[in-house]
Amino acid sequence: MATDDERGATDGGALVRFPLSRTTPAGSPGGFVDLGTGAMARRLGMRTAGTTGRWCSRCRGIWFGYALEVECPRCGNRHG
């Protein structure tokens, strides 16, 4: 049976980074726009820690809401 050195195996602890993992998406100003909180989360009085973030492609920002909410609070977009 061949050893790791004979097979040319590399160090198992070496970290291979994804080439685009730290880049900013094209057309974004470097951050994100906070679009606020969804209507259902506001009605239920949810804290920010209990909400999930959603991306709105029209507003180019993230809004936070209840897990089942799908509508951007700023523009009404329902398609991400």
Number of Cβ within 10 Å of residue 68's Cβ equals 8
C-alpha dist (Å) from residue 36 to 10, 41, 51, 56: 47, 10, 11, 11
With contact defined as beta carbons under 8 Å apart, do 44 and 66 qualify?
A: yes
pTM reported for the whole predicted model? 0.59
When pLDDT is averaged across residues 13-41 and rounded to a whole number, the result is 72
With contact defined as beta carbons under 8 Å apart, do 63 and 36 qualify?
A: yes
- What whole-number distance in Å separates Cα of residue 7 and Cα of residue 16? 20
Beta bridge partners of 33: 61
**Is the pLDDT confidence value at 11 over 80?**
no
**21 pLDDT tier (thresholds 50, 70, 90):** low
pLDDT of residue 50: 85
